[in-house]
Structure 1
């Protein structure tokens, strides 16, 4: 079973991500912000196949979180997708420079979202 690690400060967004991916057979791990994510990632013993990060979060934003995750030896090449309401080209370029693999704008269409995730997990 593939594991998706999603980080979003919105409880509604986390619930939607979890519901959508679990019904497709994915294991979903959740965190509420970048600080929470780094704590959980450091303790997580399984494989993480894809990260989903929001951009705007308290305590640690998604861009900073990408930079921190890319420093971890076992996640240097793990796909990291932004799932955010941000759609400005400058933010996308900043994310790409930090190490993002892709960008999904919220709200998402469940079928499109799942297809994108599947592309990164096969």
Structure 2
């Protein structure tokens, strides 16, 4: 390969490599959530999604989840939260061992609905 061809190939390679780096950094979005992340209710980001279309059934599903996953805990408070366009219940609990904790539920499917229809 002549020196001229080698120089052209080197320039082309560097140009393409630089362009590829610039393109990837400009188009990179937020890092995807890890696949191992579980909806365990320990934070708003890991909120348990309730798949009901009715407020009463949704609340009953929250209570069942608490009884099944956190036996011996009872509700001591509740807050309605908005975060990143979503709507969440934060349920505060006191457990049999005296510990307190909060559990988060994603309630977008049932909040303000009766049989799938908005209340208003």
TM-score after normalising by structure 2: 0.25
Q: Which of the two has higher C-alpha Rg?
A: 2
Which has the larger strand fraction?
Answer: 2
Which has the larger helix fraction?
Answer: 1
